[in-house]
Amino acid sequence: MKARSISYVALFTALTAIGATVKIPVPYIPFTLQILAVYLAGALLGPRLGSLSILCYVGIGLAGVPVFAEGGGLGYLFKPTFGYLLGYILGAYVNGWLINRFNLSAIRSIFLANVATLLTVYLVGCVWLYGAMKWMAEAPLSLYQTLLYGFFIPAPGDLLLCILCAVIIKQVRPRLSRYINVKELNHPWAKPTL
């Protein structure tokens, strides 16, 4: 991996950590701005580097650096919210793949890719939440409670972030192509430089 790619991955790893510091307490799943970095990493870096940046974030947190919304360390594996972190990794890949594969450039289509990313994150997160509450915390949630606390309560704020990120991505992607090595990141929207 080239130094420039490493820099981009590190930048989005840092942005994800910063997003975790902005949190609104909600039962079970705190609302944070981490999903912003997930949308942007996938869309601007592509599926491979975008998901790698989120994977680095998760790895740093599990290593003990308190970058998660509620700290860090290996004990986070047993938290009901850890599935959302796994969902972020997969979500960044999904977002980058959709935007690159279908060459999405309209705000509406980018928004739909962001929604697909959000659904991916929530699917993985809710499955983990259900299992963790049942088998680790021994305080089982019903399927309705899992969907209520794990999806319906936090989702409206994340949908607003979907819209905001669609506008940002629409504006930033073409400008970013001047600075990013096109072959390195394999962005179909960028024009080759001579």
CA distance 175 to 38: 19
pLDDT (mean) for 181-193: 45
pLDDT at residue 99 greater than cutoff 60: yes
Residue 22 CA: distances (Å) to CA of 49, 72, 74, 106: 24, 16, 22, 29
Strand partners, 23: 32
Express each pLDDT in 6-56 by its tens digit.
Answer: 999 999 999 999 999 998 887 778 889 999 999 999 999 999 999 999 999
pTM over 0.75: yes
CA distance 51 to 45: 9
**First-to-final CA distance of the chain:** 22
Q: What mean pLDDT is reported for the chain?
A: 90
Determine the CATH number of domain 3-185: 1.10.1760.20
Name which of 55-64, 101-110, 133-142, 176-185 the model is least confident about.
Answer: 176-185
Residue type, 13: T
pLDDT (mean) for 128-153: 93
* Token pair listed for 50: 């975008």
Tell me which residue of 118, 135, 55 sits closest to 110, measured CA to CA: 118
Q: How many CB atoms are located within 10 Å of the residue 112 CB? A: 16
